Structure formats: C-alpha cells, structure tokens
C-alpha cells in the first residue's frame, strides 16, 4: 500500500515539476523577448529584475528539491544531499523574500491573492528556518518533517496553474474574472498542499 502511494506521489511531483519548468520558461521568454503584454503579464513586465530574481531560484527549487527525498541518494551520497540541500535552502530564502515583495505590487487577484501569499509565504520561511535548524542539530526527524512542509508550500504555485485553468474554462458560466479567481486559486493550491504535507507526515511518522 505504502509503495503504491509513494509511486503516485512521485508521478504527481514529476508532473508539478514540469509545470514549474514551463512557468519559468514562459515567463523568461516574455521578459527576454517582450511581446505586447497581456493584462496578466503587465505587473511582471514592469519589474523584470525582481521577477527574474524570483523565478530563477524557483527553477532551482523545483528541479533540486525532489531529489532531497530520494532515500538512496541520502544513503549513498550524503555529501551531495547536503550540498543540494544548502542550494535548495538558499533558493527558498530568495523565493520567499521576493514573493513577499512582489505580491503587493503584482498580484493579479488583488488583496485576496496578496493575503494568501503573505500567509503562506510567511509559513514557507518559518518552515525553511525550522528545517535548517533541525538539520544543524542533527534532529533528522524534525528536519524531514519541516522539509516536507517547505517543499509542499514551495510547489503549491504549480498546482494553482491547473486551478486557474479550470476557472478560465468555466468563466462563461461563473462570470468570474482573473481578478476574482486568482486569489481563490492561490488559497486552494496552498491549502491543498499543506493538507497533503501534513497527511503524509502523519502517515509516515512511525
């Protein structure tokens, strides 16, 4: 049972990593080769350096952080695990700080999205500090649990994209605009990931 659950989680994680890479690629192309910006892009286009400072560490995070949970890598290459972990944590720090700066200026969903970003961005940074401190004192149980929370919140932005897509697809029925549903999508994505993280922690704690 546990092995099948783990397989499903890795399949879902791989899918989310692909979404994350696509997000960074699409945003980078828009910034490097500007085309007439859609309304949803204008905030990012006004702050290209800040956007790059956010999305490039984001790319590092989505590509490297899943490897931190590969047991065979930790067992056979502990030095590589530690160095990758430090790289992920530096990237996470930059992501968290820049997200808190960007959201009030560039949130498509207005105050609702900004509040979601601030709440979960703060939790993301707390999880980062907790995971780092637990690792330093070699409390690997707490290190693992806080790293799972960090990873889950960090990857939540990738899940908001399919949710946003569902809102776009049903907008003729709901009559919701991006300003209306982007905040809802962020709340749903972050909350779902946090619930999933806590469920997995409880499930594997023994």
pLDDT, block means (10 residues), the chain with 206 residues: 81 94 91 70 82 95 94 88 94 96 88 95 97 94 96 95 94 90 95 95 85
The pLDDT mean for the chain works out to: 91
> For 175-202, what is each residue's pLDDT tens digit?
999 889 999 999 999 999 999 999 999 9
Nearest Cα residue to 90 out of 64, 66, 119? 64
Nearest Cα residue to 62 out of 101, 32, 23? 23
Residue 38 is given by DSSP the state P
Tell me what pLDDT residue 39 has. 65
Question: Which residues form the domain of 109?
Answer: 2-204
Contact indicator for 101, 114 with CB cutoff of 8 Å: no
Angle (nearest 5°) at CA 91 between 21 and 150: 85
Tell me what pLDDT residue 36 has. 65
Contact indicator for 21, 63 with CB cutoff of 8 Å: yes
pTM for this model (two decimals): 0.89
Tell me what pLDDT residue 192 has. 96
Angle (nearest 5°) at CA 104 between 53 and 34: 50
- The total domain count for the chain is 1
Tell me what pLDDT residue 38 has. 62
């Amino acid at each position: 049972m546990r092995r099948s659950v783990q397989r499903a989680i890795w399949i879902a994680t791989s899918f989310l990593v692909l979404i994350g890479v696509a997000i960074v690629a699409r945003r980078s192309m828009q910034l490097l080769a500007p085309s007439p910006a859609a309304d949803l892009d204008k905030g990012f286009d006004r702050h290209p350096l800040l956007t790059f400072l956010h999305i490039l560490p984001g790319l590092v995070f989505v590509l490297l952080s899943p490897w931190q949970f590969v047991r065979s890598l930790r067992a056979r290459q502990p030095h590589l695990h530690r160095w990758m972990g430090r790289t992920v944590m530096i990237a996470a720090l930059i992501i968290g700080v820049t997200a808190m700066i960007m959201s009030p200026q560039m949130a498509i969903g207005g105050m609702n999205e900004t509040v979601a970003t601030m709440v979960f961005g703060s939790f993301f940074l707390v999880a980062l500090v907790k995971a780092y401190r637990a690792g330093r004192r070699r409390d690997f149980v707490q290190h693992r649990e806080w790293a799972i929370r960090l990873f889950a919140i960090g990857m939540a932005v990738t899940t908001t994209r399919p949710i946003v897509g569902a809102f776009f697809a049903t907008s003729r029925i709901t009559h919701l605009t991006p300003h209306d549903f982007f905040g809802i999508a962020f709340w749903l994505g972050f909350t779902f990931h946090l619930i999933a993280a806590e469920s997995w922690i409880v499930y594997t704690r023994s």
